[in-house]
Amino acid sequence: MAIHPIEFRYGTPEMKNIWESENKLQKMLDVESALSQAEAALEIIPQEVADEIKSKAYTKYVTLQRVNEIERETNHDIASLVKGLAEQCKGDAGEYVHFGATSNDIVDSSNSLLFKESIDVLKEKVQRLTNLILKLAKENIDNVCIGRTHGQHALPTTYGMKFALWADELHRQYERLESAQKNLCVGKMDGAVGTTAALGEVGWEIHKKVSEILNLPPAKITNQVVQRDNHVEFMMVMANISTTLDKIALEIRNLQRTEIMELGEYFDPEKQVGSSTMPHKMNPITAERICGVSRVVRSYVIAAMENNPLWHERDLTNSSSERIMFPESCILLDYILNLTIKLMDNLVFYPENIEKNLNMTNGLIMAERLMAELTRKGMGRQTAYANVRACAIRANKENKLLKNMIQEKEEVMKYLNLEDLETIMDPHTYVGSSKTIVNELLESSKYWF
């Protein structure tokens, strides 16, 4: 019976397949196989023994069912894995399984393999989303809209600027993923307290050789575990990416409000239902789900931080929480990346509302430009500010055009003519360097991926 929503509602096949139990078991078997091959290369065990261990280190021989059966007796996951592999090996090869290793050599190295696969999936999704948003930035480079600060109409901007801003942020998130992958995905074969003592004089060489076989850089130093600051970094990067997705989805939700409705997510009127009781509803459910699930991803940061300080060379308090938060955070972040790709790929624009909202304040949003132009034409900046502010307050109070209020002020109009005023009050021509900014970002983005 399914209980957790990840089992039936959230997640993509590609990320779930990485973290499903059989793949996790295979990764641990890969580490045991690499250990045997490294020990054979350094003449600790016979090569034929290592080859036998390697040939049986597959889930078709060491089944999940059998390992779980042994664990019910031993109450120890890695000891059960070792026994399950040993009993499949011919001759006395099984006697050499796991020689010189401690449980977390297997756990941490196999987790590194899982993280590596997961981050590759996440990077591909971030790249795809970034390219999609860059396309929207290019298409909307001249799409002038109202910019809002504190929830209030501020100055004109463009949708090109809005999308380019998100793309630039996603570039940084991609970099953070790469940095986390470099620090997190390391090999470890250092024994119970990190000294490699059980492997004798060649212990450190075994550590390096195992990492080489697994195609992982070797950890520079460990105790019983790879230090959890690396895992904190990864969890924080995933949390940070979730804030970007949350930001994007939140903006779209706000812009889809009935009273704004400048753009929104696609709604299929033939099949989709917005409400069980209100037939007219077309809710931004994709964006809302992104915002909701992102909170769960971020919530794991605290647990990850608390897993870094462990007793002495290590205690077990990190293990149980990591079994939950590693797969869940990867699966959920991948899921909302997918949702955000879907959201941005099916965005619907409402040009008439964009234009209506741009002009909603009767020209008040052009007050800054008026002040600046008056200053350029010789009026003192403070005087210009005071005059425009007085006109703006009156226009707002009386629901009149700011342009008309300005025309009534002789002390202002001696610096302007009517043609100047018409030009100044056009919001479509007050977007500064926005086109240059977006074009430069588009150009620099060509070299990212």
Supply the residues annotated as catalytic. Answer: 150, 275
Instruction: Name the nearest CA neighbour of 242 among 296, 318, 281.
Output: 296
Half-sphere exposure of 128 (CA within 13 A, CB side): 16
Structure tokens at 366: 């052009």
Calpha distance 433→157 (Å, rounded): 10
CB atoms within 10 A of CB 346: 13
Question: Torsions phi, psi of 362, nearest 5?
Answer: 60, 35
CB 365 within 8 A of CB 427: yes
Beta bridge partners of 144: 158
Calpha distance 40→55 (Å, rounded): 14
CB 413 within 8 A of CB 420: no
CB atoms within 10 A of CB 72: 8
Structure tokens at 367: 């007050």
CB 208 within 8 A of CB 218: yes
CB 435 within 8 A of CB 160: yes
Residue matched to tokens 């889809």: 256
CA dihedral of residues 324, 328, 330, 331 (deg, nearest 10): 150
